[in-house]
Amino acid sequence: MSTYTVPFVINGEERHVEETFDVTSPDTGKVLHKCGIATEADVAAAVEAAAAAGQQWRDFPTAKRRDILLKAAEIMTSRRDELAQYMIDEVGALRPWADFNLNLATDFFKDVAGRVSAVEGSVPPCAEGITSMIVKEPYGVVLAMAPWNAPYILGTRSVLFPIAAGCTVIFKGSETSPRTHHAIASILTEAGLPKGVLNYIVTNPANAPTVTKSLIAHPDVKKINFTGSTPVGKIIGKLAGENLKPAVLELGGKAPAIVWEDANLDLAAGQSIAGAFFFSGQICMSTERIIVHKKISSAFQEKLLAKIKEAFPSTSDAPILINASSVDKNKKLIKDAVSKGASVLNGDVDATESSKTRLRPIVVGKVTPDMDLYKTESFGPSVSLIEVESEEEALRIANDTEYGLTSAVFTEDLRVGLRFARGIESGAVHINNMTIHDEMTLPHGGAKASGFGRFNSHYGVEEWVRTKTITWRN
């Protein structure tokens, strides 16, 4: 076992505390390292540092802000192998998923560096004898919370957009990937970010409610962003509401992929399995429901199952999930569905794998609304296949969920695709691409219980500034 302990970063300095918890590998079950447990005293120190740095960072020249972010991109690239290994160890990622995270996070730094000088006010016309201007000012201290499943992407964007807008940040990392998230703070510190602009803390699950409540309630914290599950998002939203603080929430999903009668079935099958099973289905944008036209359902299923066998051969290890309870959750959902009439088209829910954290892809047919699998986010390698015969029926089922993060449509007729796109209640619709799609130029966020507010592009920067009206008599 490593003797390393993940430290906090407060006011530009690493901070070690006495109380720690073990961080274990989802692959081997062995302890990787330890991490400090933040208390309310650490919360106070982090907020104090962020508040003290606020005025300096707000007035910091935008060209220098830009240069720090560009330098961070260089450092992330130079430390690529080290950073990838943290993610592989802590969340059980394969190298391609780690590389995808690092590629997109690096692109975020580069893209946002070019946006720091693009925040502009206006000079609107006013009543006779009055002149006015509208300026945009950073909110101040921001609380950022990101999950473990795409730690470099979600962790970077949670702090990057507020920092670019002139805010200072307390970053509460995930207890599942604390060293991975710490690396983001390390990179920005190495890039020359002034002390106090980014402060990093982590705590264990037992202390998380108290620490989170203290952070949100602190009078110096002005706005919050949280990416994670909808149940926890509801708690964050409630706490934010009680303290009259705005929040950006990017939460869970139950993404549908509609495969229409004229679809390219090879493309649809390949993109559907990628959308459903990439990183063991542990992505908020993962495809959870494939809604297929009855006319081509048999042909599509044949191609889908063939591609699954090709991508996940029986001779290879089963995909890793973050913990055994995630495997148990998926098995429970599938067994409930089967007990109510569903059929397993691919996979074996009772199979024994090399560890309790592994599960092979499972496709379930004949799924109906009375089954838990129909509406519950599985967040694992299981997907439902549902047959339909009309556009109206496909839209009804696609929208028959509390979630609305993303979706996909497969059709060779763009007019059909656009009709579906306009009718699906979600933050994104991807025509002839999988449901998992995120890049820096596109606003990212959901509808309904998938949250509100947007990351990415200029939308992501604008979330962290507010307008101030100034008028004067001529």
Q: Check pLDDT > 70 for residue 1.
A: no
The pTM for the full model equals 0.96
Q: Where are the beta strands (DSSP E) in 86-197?
A: 130-138, 141-145, 168-172
Exposed/middle/buried for residue 370 (C-beta within 10 Å: 0-12, 13-18, 19+) = exposed
Kindly report the average pLDDT of the chain as a whole number: 97
Give the tokens for residue 231.
């149940």
- Three-state secondary structure call for residue 367: coil
Q: How far apart are CA 275 and CA 302, in angstroms?
A: 18
Q: What is the pLDDT of residue 434?
A: 98
Q: How far apart are CA 445 and CA 227, in angstroms?
A: 10
Mean pLDDT value of segment 42-58: 97
Q: How far apart are CA 109 and CA 105, in angstroms?
A: 7
Q: How far apart are CA 69 and CA 140, in angstroms?
A: 19
Mean pLDDT value of segment 309-335: 96
Sheet of strand 31-36: strand arrangement: 5-6, 31-36, 20-24
Mean pLDDT value of segment 74-82: 98
Is 393 in the active site? Answer: no
Nearest-CA neighbor of 327 among 396, 280, 391? 280
> Could you identify the residue written with the tokens 């908020």?
284
Mean pLDDT value of segment 18-24: 96
Specify the amino acid at residue 306: A
Give the tokens for residue 146.
């990101």
- Three-state secondary structure call for residue 66: helix
Is 284 in the active site? Answer: yes
What separation, in Å, do the N-terminal and C-terminal C-alpha atoms of the chain show? 72
Q: How many CB atoms lie within 10 A of CB 429?
A: 23
Mean pLDDT value of segment 12-16: 96
Higher pLDDT, 160 or 315: 160
Q: Which one from 35, 90, 167, 284 is the annotated catalytic residue? A: 284
Q: What is the pLDDT of residue 3?
A: 87
Q: What is the pLDDT of residue 12?
A: 97
Nearest-CA neighbor of 283 among 227, 367, 225? 227
Contact 412, 264 (CB under 8 A): yes
- Three-state secondary structure call for residue 258: strand
pLDDT digits (tens, 9 = 90+) for 87-101: 999 999 999 999 999
Give the tokens for residue 263.
């679809």
Mean pLDDT value of segment 254-273: 98
Q: How many CB atoms lie within 10 A of CB 322?
A: 21
Q: Which one from 90, 167, 175, 250 is the annotated catalytic residue? A: 250
Q: How far apart are CA 271 and CA 277, in angstroms?
A: 10
Helix axes of 208-217 and 230-242: crossing angle, nearest 10 degrees: 40
SS3 content of the chain, % helix, strand, coil (to 5): 40, 20, 35
Mean pLDDT value of segment 217-226: 98
Q: Check pLDDT > 80 for residue 308.
A: yes
Q: Check pLDDT > 70 for residue 271.
A: yes
pLDDT digits (tens, 9 = 90+) for 427-466: 999 999 999 999 999 999 999 999 999 999 999 999 999 9
Q: What is the pLDDT of residue 268?
A: 98
Contact 132, 126 (CB under 8 A): yes
Half-sphere exposure of 386 (CA within 13 A, CB side): 27
pLDDT level of residue 2 (50, 70, 90 thresholds): confident
pLDDT digits (tens, 9 = 90+) for 122-146: 999 999 999 999 999 999 999 999 9
Nearest-CA neighbor of 258 among 402, 406, 120, 124? 406
Contact 30, 24 (CB under 8 A): yes
Q: Residue 381 to residues 206, 290, 311, 428, 433: CA-CA distances in angstroms?
A: 28, 13, 13, 22, 19
Q: Where are the beta strands (DSSP E) in 16-125?
A: 20-24, 31-36
Q: Check pLDDT > 80 for residue 199.
A: yes
Specify the amino acid at residue 471: T
The single-letter DSSP state of residue 318 is: P
Mean pLDDT value of segment 294-305: 98
Q: Check pLDDT > 60 for residue 403.
A: yes
Exposed/middle/buried for residue 37 (C-beta within 10 Å: 0-12, 13-18, 19+) = buried
